[in-house]
Structures are given as C-alpha cells and as structure tokens.
Chain A
Amino acid sequence: MFRNQYDTDVTTWSPAGRLFQVEYAMEAVKQGSAAIGLRSKTHVILACVNKASSELSSHQKKIFKVDDHIGVAIAGLTADGRVLSRYMRNECINYNFTYESPLPVGRLVVQLADKAQVCTQRSWKRPYGVGLLVAGLDESGAHLYYNCPSGNYFEYQAFAIGSRSQAAKTYLERRFENFMGSSREDLIKDALISVRETLQGEKLKSSICTVAVVGVGEAFHILDQETVQQLIDSFELVREDEPPAPEAGDAVADQSEASAPVAEEGAAPMDI
C-alpha cells in the first residue's frame, strides 16, 4: 500500500473502488499484538500476547469481559477497543434490563458492525483502528466472530489477528476440523500453542499471554497467571517427547518461520 491522492478522506473512493482510509485502519489491526480465538460446540477460548512497551511498564489489557456470556479480545488501537467494549457492555446491560435475558451474540456483533460502518461514511469521523474477536454463548451454542474496522464481521471456527498472526492461523488451519468436538482442556492447549507460534521462538510464559474462557455452565472469565503457567508447563514437556503435530510430515513445518503477510495490490482486504 502506497501513499496516493485518494487516501486523505474516508469519504473518498479510489478509481478502483476502494476506501483507502478503511484499509489503513485494517493495517492498524495488523500492527497490534496478536489475539487468537477458537471454539468448540460448548466452549470458546480467547488468548492474546501481552507485550509491554518496556520492562518498566505494565501490559495493555486486551481481553475484556462484556457480560457473563460474552467476552472480547482486541488487536490494534487498544484505546478504540476499550471504548467499543464499554459500548458492548452497555448494550448487554440495557438488553438484559428490558428483556430479562442475555443479549444474543449475533445481535451484538451486528450492532458493533453497524457502529463501525458509520465511521466509514462520515467525513468528520475516522474508522475504529481495532479488530475484535467476540466470543460468546447463546441458545444456538458457542460462537466466535471477528469484527473489522470496515464494518464487516465474520463467524469463525478459529481465527487469529494482529502481528505474526499468520503463524497461528497456519497452525489453526491444520487443526480446526477437530475443534467442534474438542474438550475444554484441548481447546485451551491449542490456543496456547497458537500463541506460541506467534512468538517466533521466544519462550512462552504466562506473564506474556492472557487466556480467557467462556462455555456452557461457565461464565466468561480470564484465567489467572498460575493456572496458565501450569497449563503451559503441562504441554511444553509433552512437546519435547513427541512430534508436535499429529499429521505426518508436519514436524518440520511447525519449526519454520512464518512468512510475513504479503501486501496484496489486487483484491481489497475487506473482500477476503
């Protein structure tokens, strides 16, 4: 993506039919530290990498509880993410007040998407620079959605966003077919392995990652550091004994560097 004369305003189309400001907003998501989500029939797990800007500072909060049955992980401009989380929390509280039942995730996600779309069609606004992985439970089961700055949203079995998310996505693509029937523990293990993929060889510790769970009979909550460290320890040991992936011939692929995402000049990112 290069600077051009159609990228000053969000309300200016390019001759190729693209809104560059919106695409730049999606770039901001790619620059944020990684966030991963995966789901089974009964549980959804969110995990993210917590990189502090320096050793002296604290970590950015990237996973937010929205309601007992919904949580969100963000990547990109975390300030925008905080504001959107507050909006989501309010919507859940108001819906619950009126209807005495939890807001279905699918509805919340649409409201969020419509809110994002407004910012792509006003000259005095800018798009939100944050991607949201919304994890939630409703009557139809467990769901994971991804909300884009463009105002699009998609439902996923598993997804990763943020920097070096491609490595996690590669791992998830290999394993996702099993997720629907996975147990809660296996799902968390897969989430942690995905996080490790994005770390590119750096040691996976509970101090640099956060894991959150929501499931049938289990309200959304963030796992505490000790629990996460125990889980990391339990599968790190296993990894040294046996080949990392069950499929044949994948041992080498696991170790290789993930290629950096190639900027496509052709299709607009929103169309993927």
Chain B
Amino acid sequence: MTKHQANWSPYDNNGGSCVAIAGADYCVIAADTRMSTGYNILTRDYSKITKLADKCVMASSGFQADVKALQKLLAARHLIYQHQHNKQMGCPAMAQLLSNTLYYKRFFPYYSFNVLGGLDNEGKGCVYTYDAVGSYERVGYSSQGSGSTLIIPFLDNQLKSPSPLLLPVQDAITPLSESEAVDLVKTVFASATERDIYTGDKLEIVVLNAEGIQREFMDLRKD
C-alpha cells in the first residue's frame, strides 16, 4: 500500500524578492515587480508592496493569491482597530497582528514570506521578518523570497549586523543615511537580478519617514 498522493497542489510560487532596511528615522522597503510561475513570466509589473497603515508597509513574496488574501484581511482588521481606538495602528502592533494571523492558519498556511517595515512608536525605523507561519523577529534589515539567499549575505557584509548572540546587546538599527540605504537597495537588487531568474523587470522602492511615504521605481534587467 503506497500513500495516496495528491495530483495537484493548492500552492504556487510566483517568485520575486523583497528587502527592508531600517534607519535611525526612516525605513526603506523594496521589492521587484516580476510575477512568474515555473519558468514563465506572468507579468513584469506587479507590486508586492502594500501600505497597511500610515507608518507600516509590508512586502511579501511567495504565492501572490495568498499574499493578496493576507493583505485584504490585515486591511480589514486595521479598519476595525481604527474604529475602536480612534487612531492608526503602529508598526509593532501590526507586526504582532500579522504574526497571529499567519499562525491562525498553521495547518494550511499562507504561502507568503513577509517583511514588514515602518516607524516604531518613537519614530525610529523598524523591520520585522517572518516565516510562513508567523515566527517573527525585529531586525535592522531583512530579505525574503527567491533572491534572499543572494541578498542577505551581501547585506550582512555591508551593514555589519550585530549578531543577536553577542553581548552586550547592540541596537538593531543601521547607521546609514536614507539616500545611502536606497542606493544600497538598488545595488543589491541589480546583483540579485543577475543570478536569480525570478528577480528582475523593475524595482519598487518605498521610503517611510517623518514626512510620509515616498515611492520610486528603477528598471532592472528583463531577462
């Protein structure tokens, strides 16, 4: 008797990479805009980034149908929060909500690899990184998605992240200026695009700071 195998999967991987870097008073969140399935491209112009609250932006790679469902759910929960508390959700609150929402489907997960970026309650940049079932951690920078294995070591090298195992405990914030961080993100994606077939087409960069939210685009290789 062999185990009955499913002849279809409810999941698909639409590829792509996401990055977020936290600064002293800003946060940069970026993702490519290529959506693929297998070796094919579905579209070159799909945003993986969504604004959840005034000070909180999420970038997600993985199965975009699950990502879309997750984004809608969080948006609805945010509306409820605003009605009850008469204010927007802060980034740390949204981070916990996202974790709980993901774990809720622990036994049929959202195939969504998330990176949350924003400003914390003191106005400092914060980045939270997640796995598919809600395990999360506040970090100074992170990457998720198909290019993450190429991107993270490079960011480690450039941002000299303090290991959480070292004592004394060091701040998770990156000592870069906002424009330096944006340039770093552009460099990182240009490199990842060279070697990862699922990353490319266009780069969407979102910067959150005290002035608000700015968005810019940069072309990437289309091959």
Contact = CB atoms under 8 A, between A and B. Distances in A.
A89 B79 CA distance: 9
On chain A, which size bracket covers the interface?
Answer: under 10
B42 interface: no
A162 to B, nearest CB: 24
Contacts of B76: 93-94, 96-97
Nearest to B77: A93
Nearest to B82: A65
B160 interface: no
Main secondary structure of the interface of A (DSSP, over half): helix
A93 B78 CA distance: 10
Interface residues of B, number: 6
Interface in A78-93: 86, 89-90, 93
Contacts, number: 14
A89 B80 contact: yes
Contact of B83 (A89, A94, A97): A89
Contacts of A86: 83
A250 B47 CA distance: 62
B72 A93 contact: no
A65 B82 CA distance: 10
Contacts of B73: 97
Nearest to A66: B83
Interface in B63-80: 72-73, 76, 79-80
Nearest to A90: B80
Contacts of A89: 79-80, 83
Nearest to A94: B76
A100 to B, nearest CB: 8
A70 to B, nearest CB: 12
A65 B73 CA distance: 20
Contacts of A65: 83
A65 B83 CA distance: 8
B80 A97 contact: no
Nearest to A96: B76
Contacts of B80: 89-90, 93
Nearest to B75: A97
A177 to B, nearest CB: 36
A21 B83 CA distance: 32
- Which 9 A-B pairs rank lowest in CB-CB distance, beginning with the nearest? A93-B76, A89-B83, A97-B76, A93-B79, A97-B72, A93-B80, A89-B80, A65-B83, A96-B76
Interface of B: 72-73, 76, 79-80, 83
6 contacts: A65-B83, A90-B80, A93-B80, A94-B76, A96-B76, A97-B73
